[in-house]
A = this chain, B = another copy of it.
Amino acid sequence: MAASADEPLVITDKAEMREWSSSMRRQGRTIGLVPTMGYLHEGHLSLVREARRRGDVVVVSVYVNPGQFAPSEDLSTYPSDFEGDLRKLKAVPGGVEVVFHPHDLYDYGQRQAGDQVGGSGVNSDNVSVSCLEEKGLGHETWVRAERLEKGMCGKSRPVFFRGVATVVTKLFNIVEPDVAVFGKKDYQQWRIIRRLVRDLDFSIQVIGSEVMRDHDGLALSSRNVYLSPEEREKALSISRSLSRAKSAAEKGQVNCQNLKDSVIQAIQEAGGKIDYAEIVDQESLEVVEEIRSPVVFCVAAWFGKVRLIDNIEIDV
């Protein structure tokens, strides 16, 4: 069970994970957590390096969370490569102490009497259900940041942030980290996690790590692997137009409609299909008309069958 200095200990059991964390706490060592869905790329590894700097020991969770996918979404085809993930984590300077890789975070052992076994009766009055509820596993407690979850990605993915906030709450309770690191590429997610930590009084410091980009500017994403070379080239329109918008804003173009129009036009001309392009307050994520305080310009667009998101902070 003991891990060598550079070989992460793989824990699949909640109770074992808890026990490991408790033993670290008893030794007075602080724990940094990086929650991931695996298929790690350089973006994830930058979060791991950040956690390495912030905590005495580092736990990376690898878990594709059914609670944040709608039945129509890509849960079944979400890419995975656990052996590759372990190799990459081992190569991070300092390594990581634990990879928490549970089989099913929603398996509560013996089913309680009255739990739904089929999905048909679950949330019969709720149009938006996740893959978890479709499976009818009896889980029914959800954490929601009711305002922050509404706009942007929340519009086209109504169960997404409910699922993210809930699984992160679970991971916080199992791993009990002192510090948790999230990528600002998922800007809305990052703000929601920060808000839930504040509102639910978790004693955890939440760190936002900057967007990692490929040499050509494309924001790193596990889903990039599904882009054809042509689509990948066209998708550069997102980061390039966002970058131009930031420059324009810094030069005094504070009218958000104009800035949004130019980004939408650039992406559409490249063949992308816009999901949303919004300029919002960095904290409240409320749409702004004119840039008078720190904002973030967030975009989601489809290239072929791949939905990409990106954002850029504008601090004027």
Contact = CB atoms under 8 A, between A and B. Distances in A.
A253 interface: no
A142 interface: yes
A200 B140 contact: no
A147 B133 CA distance: 12
Task: Kindly state the interface size class of chain A when it binds its partner.
Answer: 35 or more
A196 B284 contact: no
B141 A196 contact: yes
Interface string A92-115: 000000000000011010001111
Instruction: State the number of copies, please.
Output: 2
A148 interface: yes
A147 B122 contact: yes
A120 interface: no
A58 B141 CA distance: 27
A210 interface: no
A139 to B, nearest CB: 5
Nearest to A196: B141
B108 A203 contact: no
B283 A114 contact: yes
Interface string A144-169: 11111000000000000000011001
Contacts of A201: 14, 105, 170, 173-174
A90 interface: no
Contacts of A142: 143-144, 146
A88 B294 CA distance: 52
Contacts of A165: 141
Nearest to A173: B201
Contacts of A199: 106, 108, 139-141, 166, 170
A170 B200 contact: yes
A282 interface: yes
Interface of A: 14, 18, 25, 105-106, 108, 112-115, 122-123, 126, 139-148, 165-166, 169-170, 173-174, 195-196, 198-203, 281-286, 293-294
21 contacts: A105-B201, A108-B198, A108-B199, A114-B283, A114-B285, A122-B147, A139-B199, A140-B146, A140-B147, A140-B199, A141-B143, A141-B145, A141-B146, A141-B195, A141-B198, A141-B199, A143-B200, A169-B200, A170-B200, A173-B201, A173-B203
